[in-house]
């Protein structure tokens, strides 16, 4: 099944508080830090952030879906409040194993699994490895293999893969204020930076300042980036595209056409590759649609649930 979804066909959201919510509370859960919406006995969900991100990237979407999902958002090893992984390994498979271990230990599966960017690659691998743990899969700009430099991207980004250059870049970034660094990242990730709420900019700056004092922060970003690119070179059954083709879980793909980090041109290929997929392309939106247009992503997800319910009823 391959379906393109249009905004006019999305489910409606109940009207509620439109204010900016603070990050959901959390604590250590085994080897990773997890943030949670209040438990209601609803269906379980797990949210996995992207490269350089954290569980707080999902605050607004989790809030919009809190009446339908018992949401948890994980800080991948080395990110957010989670400690670095054993032996300092930051490969996609290591992050995927951390997600699998969390779900196995909790016994919450199958869950509605959400992933953005690196988290999309991680979630794809989890769904391929352990279909018993995944009820639906929602991928926002998933970082699937693509070694071509996309039009409009920063030509300096590939240089970060070089150890000497990455260290120099880290020193240059350290010279900037947390506010400047946070603003630059959000401008890169949003299709329309004017949509960044001032409160979210303050939160991002505070997180940059906090992570500046962590000895593993640079390694978590740089080595995860290299691990992600390394996964692009894997062939055969270990390749991410090959694993995506084995995912039978109903899959929702969400892409912004102003994404400067994961090429939107990959979206049609992803739609063809995941066996039970539907694709929503968002005009004017960037790399983090769950932050830039959380209401639209929530409606698309609820629309998929409605479609699946209708499919079951017709059978």
CA distances (Å), origin 162, targets 86, 158, 222, 248: 23, 8, 9, 37
Q: What is the pLDDT of residues 77-104, one digit of tens each?
A: 999 999 999 888 999 999 999 999 999 9
Q: What is the pLDDT of residues 250-301, one digit of tens each?
A: 999 999 999 999 999 999 999 999 999 999 999 999 999 999 999 999 999 9
CATH topology of domain 2-149+216-314: Rossmann fold (3.40.50)
Q: What is the pLDDT of residues 110-164, one digit of tens each?
A: 999 999 999 999 999 999 999 999 999 999 999 999 877 655 555 545 444 444 4
Q: What is the pLDDT of residues 22-43, one digit of tens each?
A: 999 999 999 999 999 999 999 9
- Number of Cβ within a 10 Å radius of residue 11: 14
Residue-averaged pLDDT of the chain: 90
pTM for the complete prediction?
Answer: 0.91
Classify residue 160 as left (phi > 0), alpha (psi -120 to 50) or beta: alpha
CB contact at 8 A, 277 and 244: no
CB contact at 8 A, 220 and 89: no
Q: Considering only CA atoms, which of 74, 71, 57 is closest in space to residue 141?
A: 57
Domain boundaries, the chain: 2-149+216-314
């Amino acid at each position: 099944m391959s379906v393109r979804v249009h905004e006019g066909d999305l489910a409606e959201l109940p009207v509620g508080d439109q204010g900016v919510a603070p990050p959901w509370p959390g604590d250590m859960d085994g080897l990773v830090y997890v943030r949670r919406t209040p438990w209601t006995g609803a269906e379980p969900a797990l949210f996995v952030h992207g490269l350089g991100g954290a569980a707080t990237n999902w605050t607004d979407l989790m809030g919009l879906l809190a009446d339908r999902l018992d949401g948890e958002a994980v800080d991948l090893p080395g990110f957010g409040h989670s400690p670095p992984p054993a032996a300092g390994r930051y490969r996609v498979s290591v992050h995927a194993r951390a997600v699998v271990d969390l779900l196995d230990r909790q016994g919450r599966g199958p869950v509605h699994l959400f992933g953005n960017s690196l988290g999309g690659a991680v979630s794809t691998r989890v769904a391929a490895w352990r279909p018993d743990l995944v009820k639906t899969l929602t991928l926002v700009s998933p970082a699937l293999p693509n070694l071509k430099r996309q039009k409009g991207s920063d030509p300096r980004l590939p240089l970060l893969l070089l150890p000497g250059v990455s260290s120099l870049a880290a020193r240059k970034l350290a010279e900037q204020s947390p506010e400047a660094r946070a603003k630059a990242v959000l401008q890169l990730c949003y299709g329309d930076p004017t949509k960044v709420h001032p409160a979210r900019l303050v939160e991002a700056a505070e997180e940059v300042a906090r992570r500046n004092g962590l000895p593993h922060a640079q390694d978590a970003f740089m080595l995860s980036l290299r691990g992600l690119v390394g996964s692009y070179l894997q062939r055969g059954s270990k390749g991410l595209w090959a694993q995506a083709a084995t995912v039978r879980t109903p899959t929702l793909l969400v892409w912004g056409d102003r994404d400067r980090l994961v090429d939107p041109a990959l979206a049609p290929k992803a739609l063809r590759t995941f066996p039970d997929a539907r694709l929503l392309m968002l005009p004017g939106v960037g790399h983090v649609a769950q932050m830039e247009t959380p209401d639209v992503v929530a409606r698309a997800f609820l629309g998929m649930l409605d479609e699946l319910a209708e499919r079951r009823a017709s059978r």
